[in-house]
Amino acid sequence: MPRSLIVRSLVSVALLVLFVAAAGGQLRTDVEAYLKSLKAAFDSGDRNRVLSHFEHGDIVAPTDSEYDMLRHIRFWEKPVKEIQTAEGVIRVTFTMDPESDSPAQFLTLQIIRGADGKLLIKSSATAADLEAAKERKKKQAAAEGQIAALARDLQGRKKIEQWPLNAKFLEAIKERNVQIPPEVGPFPLAEIYRGNDAVLLAGVGEGDELRDMQLTFARKDGTWIPTDRVDDEAASRLLQGPPADLKIVRRQAGIPLQSMPDFINYLLRDQARKCQDARERHDFKTCAIIADEMLVGFSLGNFPDLVRALRRPLDVTRVTLVSKNPQPDGRLLASFEVTGADGSNPLRYYLARQGNGWVVDEAYNRRALRTVNSMRSLAVAIEAYGIDNGERYPRAKSMEELNSLLSPTYIRDFPDKDAWGTPFRYEVAADRKTYRVISAGADRKFDPRSWSVAKNDLDDFDEDVVFADGTFTRGWRTDR
């Protein structure tokens, strides 16, 4: 071989070695910069920022083990122990303890270069995983689109511009030289009129919370005058009874049943989070605006439940309508499944028709709960009397007679009626060794034929319930 050819070959080999060495040096530099960027993303606590370092991170989230692996990453001046490349995959081994040569202290990541040359942790997702993830992402985007459309609908419903009761209340406050800071309220949400009585339902900032407030009014000489009473049950009382003389001023209410899961998701996730942020700034006006929008899906008697829901945002990913059971009075008992980071939780709501859709009407459920609790309190007093009287329960033919025997020794506040205003019925055996207390339920009609039929999951509040000898032998489902 000519000497000149040998020299050129040696030069080519040397250049190749230098090129490979330079490329290896650049790769090491790129890898070390990438690992530092990955650690910074992980330390920031921003999961989306971390996902951007993974192949398909915008579609497939890393598994919990892959994500938790990052907790072990430690960086020193020269963390990388070894870099190997094969078939487009860069295997990077680095030490978690620079003082140790133990293999147990080494961690290996598989890294690839994306189409733009950016380094990424190789995904363990299969082609099937990717397709499934793309489908989930597509469905999630569609669901988010539905929630966004619902939000636009809620915000676009006509707002009430004039609040006569609120104006009267502010006039009365001004006459007394009392100053209410504008950032505190009251923020009117609804006005309810029946006969000579009226209620202003409003939100008011108190401490770090938006609290519901029910201000009562009475009509005198054709003018509404504040009664100086804040009554938590005033709205519920006015809303009961026939609607003939009932007037309600509020934003148009009612959510289509198929939109109710999106509404609950929007409430528990997005709106509760916005309300929490506003509360931390003491921006109660924003909280009241949010409550006004969400009240579209709630009955006015259920407003306290809405305020409680806005106080605690949840990490909800999906709400699903699981079942719907029509009730005899036209309501629906709807069951939902709330899916979030902590798993799935059941949620049951009574829904009532209003406007062109449905509203949450748990106030209906609360009447049953109050009735059940009253019956328990009454039974405790009856049994305490029996203990003091030789295991003989009180002999009484009416609730008035029973009251005279139990009050005030065995019970301070004697509950003689259920939450629908019907007196309880009390019966005692001839030997006074057994007793029972009965509620007629929502229809206010007693049905003695049903009392001997044991059942403790009655969805229909028209059904009679029976508490006998220490337990409910016939009861409603009042759990959520």
* Residue 394 burial (CB count, 10 A): 19
Q: Which domain holds residue 172?
A: 164-249
CATH number at residue 227: 3.10.450
Q: Please give the Cα distance from 121 to 478 (Å, whole number).
A: 51
Residue with tokens 């990052």: 70
For residues 18 and 117, membership in a common domain is answered with: yes
Q: Which stretches within 45-103 are classed as H helix?
A: 47-51, 64-69
Distances (CA, A) of 354 to 7, 241, 251, 358: 94, 16, 12, 5
For residues 369 and 457, membership in a common domain is answered with: yes
Q: 307 or 39: which carries more pLDDT confidence?
A: 307
For residues 386 and 407, membership in a common domain is answered with: yes
- The pLDDT of residue 203: 86
In a domain, 83, yes or no: yes
Task: State both tokens at 304.
Answer: 């306290």
- The pLDDT of residue 383: 92
334-341 long-range contacts, CB within 8 A, separation 24+: 334/257, 334/260, 336/260, 336/261, 336/264, 338/264, 338/268, 338/314, 340/314, 340/315, 340/316, 341/315, 341/317
For residues 292 and 384, membership in a common domain is answered with: no
| pLDDT tens profile 281-305 | 888 899 899 999 999 999 888 888 8
pLDDT at 19 over 80: no
For residues 23 and 106, membership in a common domain is answered with: yes
Q: Is the pTM of this model over 0.85?
A: no
pLDDT at 100 over 70: no
In a domain, 153, yes or no: no
Residue 343 region by backbone torsions, left for phi larger than 0, else alpha for psi between -120 and 50, else beta: left
Q: CA geometry: angle at 42 spanning 41 and 46, to 5°?
A: 70
In a domain, 290, yes or no: yes
In a domain, 464, yes or no: yes
Order of strands across the sheet with 119-121? 80-86, 89-95, 106-113, 119-121
Task: State both tokens at 225.
Answer: 């005058």
| pLDDT tens profile 401-446 | 999 999 999 998 899 899 888 999 999 999 999 999 999 988 889 9
The candidate with the shortest Cα–Cα distance to 303, out of 293, 311, 315, 295, is 295
For residues 447 and 460, membership in a common domain is answered with: yes
* Residue 103 burial (CB count, 10 A): 7
pLDDT at 13 over 50: no
pLDDT at 208 over 90: no
Pick the last residue of a domain from 316, 335, 360: 360
| pLDDT tens profile 252-271 | 999 999 999 999 999 998 99
For residues 178 and 227, membership in a common domain is answered with: yes
- The pLDDT of residue 76: 43
- The pLDDT of residue 81: 66
In a domain, 391, yes or no: yes
- The pLDDT of residue 107: 65
Strands (E) across 117-245 are located at 119-121, 187-194, 197-206, 209-220, 223-230
Q: What percent of the chain shows pLDDT beyond 70?
A: 85
| Domains: count for the chain | 4
Contact 354, 271 (CB under 8 A): no
For residues 338 and 378, membership in a common domain is answered with: no
For residues 234 and 278, membership in a common domain is answered with: no
The DSSP annotation for 334-357 comes to EEEEEEETTEEEEEEEEEEEETTE
The candidate with the shortest Cα–Cα distance to 349, out of 376, 319, 371, 370, is 319
Task: State both tokens at 56.
Answer: 């398909």
Give the total residue count for the chain: 480
From 16-20, 241-245, 453-457, the region with the lowest mean pLDDT: 16-20
Phi/psi for 287 (5° steps) reads -60, -40
| pLDDT tens profile 305-327 | 888 888 888 888 889 999 998 87
For residues 324 and 407, membership in a common domain is answered with: no
In a domain, 142, yes or no: no
In a domain, 28, yes or no: yes
In a domain, 134, yes or no: no
pLDDT band at 163, cuts 50/70/90?
very high
CATH number at residue 399: 3.30.700
For residues 268 and 355, membership in a common domain is answered with: yes
| Three-class secondary structure of residue 313 per DSSP | coil
Q: Please give the Cα distance from 336 to 162 (Å, whole number).
A: 37
pLDDT at 351 over 70: yes
Pick the last residue of a domain from 186, 215, 249: 249
- The pLDDT of residue 363: 67
Pick the last residue of a domain from 360, 387, 421: 360
Separation of first and last alpha carbons in the chain? 93
For the chain, what is the mean pLDDT?
Answer: 81
| pLDDT tens profile 395-412 | 998 999 999 999 999 998
| Three-class secondary structure of residue 200 per DSSP | strand
Q: Please give the Cα distance from 430 to 197 (Å, whole number).
A: 47
Angle between helices 127-156 and 284-294 (to 10 degrees): 100
The candidate with the shortest Cα–Cα distance to 170, out of 184, 151, 186, is 186
For residues 380 and 401, membership in a common domain is answered with: yes
